[in-house]
């Protein structure tokens, strides 16, 4: 079945890079996504990557995809306190988006 796994917590210092990792099971997923949820708010789409790409860069965000290992990562360069949130990895399964458990990113000043 479809399953997406993430580590639950990451703490970094302001200015450092953050790397959030995710593994998924459905090798037929065409797109993989990263969403961000700030406290008390809904999820917002941050970025996505097509399954035939290895890397996608968008300003401070870099997404790496290792399709062989079914591993996806999100790197945030120069992490700021405003980046503190929960980050969800998701794969597009059979007509629906399957989310990981979410990684809480804590940014310390």
Residue numbers of the site for other proteins (CB under 8 A)?
31, 33, 35, 37, 40-45, 48, 86, 88, 90, 92, 95-99, 101-102, 104
Between 41 and 109, CB nearer to other proteins:
41
**C-alpha atoms less than 13 angstroms from C-alpha of 74 in its C-beta half-sphere:** 30
Between 21 and 101, CB nearer to other proteins:
101
CB of 18 to other proteins, least distance (A): 18
CB of 43 to other proteins, least distance (A): 5
Between 8 and 77, CB nearer to other proteins:
8
* Cα–Cα distance measured from residue 9 to residue 94, given in angstroms and rounded to the nearest whole number: 28
DSSP symbol at 82 = G
Between 40 and 82, CB nearer to other proteins:
40
Contact 43, 34 (CB under 8 A): no
Contact 21, 71 (CB under 8 A): yes
């Amino acid at each position: 079945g479809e399953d997406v796994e993430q580590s639950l917590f990451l703490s970094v210092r302001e200015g450092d890079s953050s790397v959030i990792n995710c593994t998924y099971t459905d090798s037929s997923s065409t797109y993989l996504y990263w969403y961000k949820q700030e406290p008390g708010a809904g999820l917002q789409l941050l970025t996505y990557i097509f399954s035939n790409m290895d890397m996608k860069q968008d300003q401070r965000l870099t997404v790496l995809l290792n399709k062989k290992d079914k591993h996806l990562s999100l790197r945030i360069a120069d992490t700021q306190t405003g980046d503190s949130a929960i980050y969800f990895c998701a794969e597009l399964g059979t007509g629906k988006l399957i989310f990981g458990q979410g990684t809480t990113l804590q940014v310390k000043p």
